[in-house]
Amino acid sequence: MSKSYSFSWGDYRPHILHILKLGYPILVGQLGVMLIVLTDVVMVGHFSSLALAASALGNGIFYGVLFALNGFTFGLKPPVAEADAQNKPERVADLLAHGLLFFSGLCLITLLFFKVFVSNLEYILFMQPPDVIAEAKPYMMWLAWSCVPHIMYHCLEQFVEGLSRTKISMVANVIGNVVHFALNYLLIFGHWGFPELGLVGAGVSTLVSRFVIFLTFLLYIVWDKDLSIYVGIIRKSFRLDTSYFKLLLSLGLPIALQMFFEVTAFTACMLMSGNIGKIELAAHQIVLNISILTYLVAASFGQSSTIVLARLAAQSQTVHQAGRIALAWVLFLMLVFGVLIMVFKTWVPLLYLSTDDPNFETIRLMAAGLMFIVALYQIADGAQVLLMGILRGLQDVRMPTYLVLFAYWVIGIPSAYVFAFVLNGGIEGVWWGLCLGLFVSALLLVMRAEKLYRKRGL
């Protein structure tokens, strides 16, 4: 089950091949997760601009929490990859069992949090438009329930990816997205005799599709000949060991905080956009979706780099060449994405809006104007997420958390506020602040990675 990775100084091809081989199925799976959000946004945008603004509010808050929970599950992948590289199947099985228990408890806590939070949403977000809050509340509760199958699926995903089995995520997300698109069509617009639920219909279809993805993943692990071995080990010899919970917490909490600081920075910018107006909030949601799609490409190769570097480190092999090649590859991709965003900047907003909407032209032009900023920060965004994946592979999670906190919440968010409200830059000022935070994050993480390479002799 263990795979060997050997790299020579004179040949860069093995680095690219391993990272691409592991990364492209992760990418398809990640895009599948994002397509659930993207499909909701596109379809509710054609339902009404109010629903689009409410989805921006609901998604901005919900996914800030959900991505932090995803960060906890990322703490499972490096020790699984390390144990598999060292041919320790019993430890791999123990990590899976304790991971499932750990994340089940986390899901219950999250549900209780959202129940209280959504019930008091109009008091917590009192500066947001009241009609947007009223539209967002029921949608957010359906999303909250969907976090249970999503987090449990994510736990299983990190487990199998740690074993270098990345394709099942791709298959499960394709199935889930087919279900999600069909239910969105039926429930948002009320086709074929189904009720017209609008934004609530998007929430219901998200919940159902995430259960489908989780069950597909679970059945695959139980039925697969190689993976079912670990299920058998758990059944025969499972013993509760709190040291595994401590390990998952020590690795997962800093990663969760990294993602929380990053995503909530975007949430803060979403709230700033909402304070400016509903039109700005709708435009913000459009450009945010485009930036997330390109981010996920870099994040997928960041995750494959986590696997490769964790295995190399476990086998006491040199890792810095693989890390640098991965960074160069992602920088090239993000440069291409930046060019494409500029080429299609006036066309992309048409995907999200109905031409019958009275605010159509205003939102379209505003979103197109923001595309230049999104195109500019592609390189910094790709670099910082790739480097976080590399550092996780080396189980360096604490210092990057401090660096991300500084970049976003000391530099990025204050700058966004100053540019938007003090210097009257409006929504463009919000996005310039984000851009600055991303560049600072990328620079600090590059310095951290190079320092580790030298310090550890990697």
pLDDT, residue 26, reads 63
């697969």: which residue's tokens? 224
Count of C-beta atoms within a 10 Å radius of residue 116: 9
Task: Enumerate residues 6+ apart whose C-beta is below 8 A from 231.
Answer: 93, 221, 222
Q: Closest Cα to residue 9, out of 324, 315, 314, 310? A: 324
Q: Closest Cα to residue 164, out of 320, 8, 299, 4? A: 4
pLDDT, residue 38, reads 66
Half-sphere exposure of 92 (CA within 13 A, CB side): 28
Q: Closest Cα to residue 135, out of 193, 201, 181? A: 201
DSSP 406: I
pLDDT, residue 317, reads 59
Helix axes 49-74, 278-314, angle to 10 degrees: 20
DSSP 190: T
Q: Measured in Å, how far apart are the chain's first and last C-alpha atoms?
A: 25
pLDDT, residue 436, reads 94
Euclidean distance between CA atoms 68 and 288, whole angstroms = 18
Count of C-beta atoms within a 10 Å radius of residue 108: 10
Given a contact cutoff of 8 angstroms between Cβ atoms, the answer to whether 176 and 212 are in contact is yes
Q: At residue 384, what is the residue type?
A: Q
The predicted model scores a pTM of 0.67
Lowest mean pLDDT among 154-168, 370-384, 395-409: 154-168
Given a contact cutoff of 8 angstroms between Cβ atoms, the answer to whether 314 and 452 are in contact is no
Count of C-beta atoms within a 10 Å radius of residue 157: 28
pLDDT, residue 4, reads 44
């949090």: which residue's tokens? 113
Given a contact cutoff of 8 angstroms between Cβ atoms, the answer to whether 254 and 397 are in contact is yes
Sequence length of the chain is 458
pLDDT, residue 417, reads 93
Greatest Cα-to-Cα distance within the chain, rounded to the nearest angstrom: 65
pLDDT, residue 1, reads 43
pLDDT class of 18 with cuts at 50, 70, 90: low
Euclidean distance between CA atoms 412 and 221, whole angstroms = 42
Euclidean distance between CA atoms 328 and 331, whole angstroms = 5
pLDDT class of 410 with cuts at 50, 70, 90: very high
Cα→Cα distances 65→137, 171, 247, 307, 428, Å: 16, 26, 22, 25, 25
Cα→Cα distances 208→179, 183, 211, 226, 439, Å: 8, 9, 5, 29, 38
Euclidean distance between CA atoms 380 and 330, whole angstroms = 10
- Report the pLDDT averaged over residues 422-428: 90
Q: Closest Cα to residue 64, out of 122, 125, 105, 123? A: 125
pLDDT class of 211 with cuts at 50, 70, 90: very high
Euclidean distance between CA atoms 199 and 45, whole angstroms = 9
pLDDT, residue 261, reads 84
How many percent of the chain have pLDDT more than 70?
A: 85
In the predicted model, is pLDDT for residue 439 greater than 90? yes
Condensed to tens digits (0 to 9), the pLDDT of residues 321-334 reads 777 777 888 888 88
Helices (H), 195-277: 199-223, 228-237, 242-276
pLDDT, residue 7, reads 41
